[in-house]
Amino acid sequence: MEKTTCNPDKGRLVSHEVQYTPANTIWFEEDDPEGVYPIRDIHGALLIREPGYRTPLLI
């Protein structure tokens, strides 16, 4: 699935092809509205997604 992420190094939004699997993703409980939902390794960087409709962050 294609995902638009916020890349602070580039200072803009970027699109990435992302596949969430148990091998490359760490999942957290979604009940904390200020917490982190999944963290995924993508091309040597971390893709961090918060619960809800916020833009994922690529660091």
Task: For residue 36, give the amino acid letter.
Answer: V
Of 15-19, 31-35, 45-49, the poorest mean pLDDT is in: 31-35
Number of residues assigned to the chain: 59
Kindly state the percentage of the chain with pLDDT values over 70.
88
Residue 37 has pLDDT above 70, yes or no: yes
Q: How far apart (Å, rounded) are the C-alpha atoms in residues 57 and 59?
A: 6
